[in-house]
C-alpha cells in the first residue's frame, strides 16, 4: 500500500472513531454514528460483514444499528445483481442529512415536549388562585414557543438547500 492510500486510511479511521465519540454527545449511540461515518466515506456500498470487520463489532450490534440508520433514512440498502446479501450506502448530501436529523430530533424532543406542555396547560386551565394562574401562563408561554420552534423546523426542512442558504445569507448579512 502506498503512502497516499495509507494516509487516507488513517484520516478515514480517525473520522470514523471521532464521529462515533461525537455521536454520544448527540444522543446517538457510538456504534450507530461510527457506521454512519464509515458508510458516508465509503467509495462503495458495504455488507453487514464488512461493517462488522471494519469496526470490530458483533453481528447483532452491526445489524441493529444498520436497521436503525435505515429507519432514519440516513442509509439505504442497495441490491447488487447476482448478490444475495444486502449492501448499504449512505445519504451523502449534507442538506438531506441535516433535514433527516432535524426531523428525528423534532420527533424525539419537540413533539413530546409539546404534548406535555399542552396537557399541563389544559389541566391548569381554570385554576383561579394566583399560583394557578401563574403556572398556567408559564405552561402556555412555553407551549407557544415550542410550537413556534416546531413549525419553524418543519418549514426549514421543506426548503430546498439553495433557498435556505439564500434566506440565511440575508439573516447573516
Give the footprint of its own copies on this chain (CB under 8 A): 4-5, 7-8, 10-12, 14-15, 18-19, 22, 25-27, 40-41, 43, 92, 94-95, 98, 108-109, 112-113, 116, 119-120, 123-124, 127-129, 131-132, 134-135, 138-139, 141-142, 144-145, 148-149, 151-152, 155-156, 165, 167-168, 171-172
Distances from the Cα of 95 to the Cα of 13, 19, 38, 133, 160, angstroms: 24, 18, 19, 43, 8
Cell representation of residue 55: 469496526
Cell numbers representing residue 105 in the block: 430530533
Residues 3-42 that bind DNA (CB under 7 A): 24, 29-32
Select the span of 49-57, 115-123, 146-154, 158-166 touching DNA (CB under 7 A). 49-57
| Burial category of 51 from C-beta neighbours within 10 Å (exposed 0-12, middle 13-18, buried 19 and up) | buried
Among all chains, which residue has been given the C-alpha cell 440508520? 69
Whether 102 contacts 94, CB under 8 Å: no
Provide the grid cell at 152: 419553524
Of 61-69, 111-119, 142-150, 153-161, which segment contacts DNA by CB under 7 A?
Answer: 61-69
Binding partner of 152, given its own copies, DNA, none, CB within 5-8 angstroms per partner class: its own copies
Segment contacting DNA (CB under 7 A): 44-52, 96-104, 111-119, 142-150? 44-52
**Which residue from 50, 86, 89, 104 is in contact with DNA, where contact means CB under 7 A?**
86
Contacts with 90 (C-beta within 8 Å, 6 or more apart), sequence order: 36, 39, 40, 42, 74, 75
Q: Is 80 in the site for DNA (CB under 7 A)?
A: no
Amino acid at each position: 500500500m502506498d503512502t497516499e492510500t495509507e494516509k487516507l486510511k488513517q484520516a478515514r479511521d480517525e473520522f470514523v472513531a471521532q464521529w462515533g465519540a461525537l455521536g454520544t454527545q448527540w444522543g446517538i449511540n457510538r456504534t450507530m454514528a461510527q457506521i454512519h461515518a464509515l458508510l458516508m466515506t465509503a467509495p462503495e456500498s458495504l455488507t453487514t460483514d464488512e461493517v462488522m470487520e471494519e469496526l470490530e463489532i458483533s453481528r447483532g450490534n452491526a445489524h441493529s444499528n444498520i436497521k436503525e440508520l435505515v429507519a432514519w433514512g440516513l442509509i439505504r440498502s442497495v441490491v447488487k445483481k447476482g448478490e444475495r446479501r444486502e449492501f448499504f450506502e449512505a445519504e451523502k448530501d449534507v442538506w438531506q442529512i441535516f433535514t433527516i436529523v432535524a426531523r428525528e430530533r423534532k420527533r424525539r424532543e419537540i413533539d413530546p415536549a409539546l404534548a406535555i406542555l399542552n396537557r399541563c396547560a389544559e389541566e391548569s386551565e381554570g385554576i383561579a388562585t394566583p399560583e394557578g394562574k401563574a403556572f398556567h401562563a408559564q405552561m402556555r408561554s412555553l407551549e407557544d414557543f415550542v410550537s413556534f420552534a416546531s413549525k419553524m423546523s418543519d418549514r426549514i426542512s421543506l426548503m430546498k438547500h439553495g433557498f435556505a442558504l439564500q434566506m440565511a445569507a440575508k439573516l447573516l448579512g
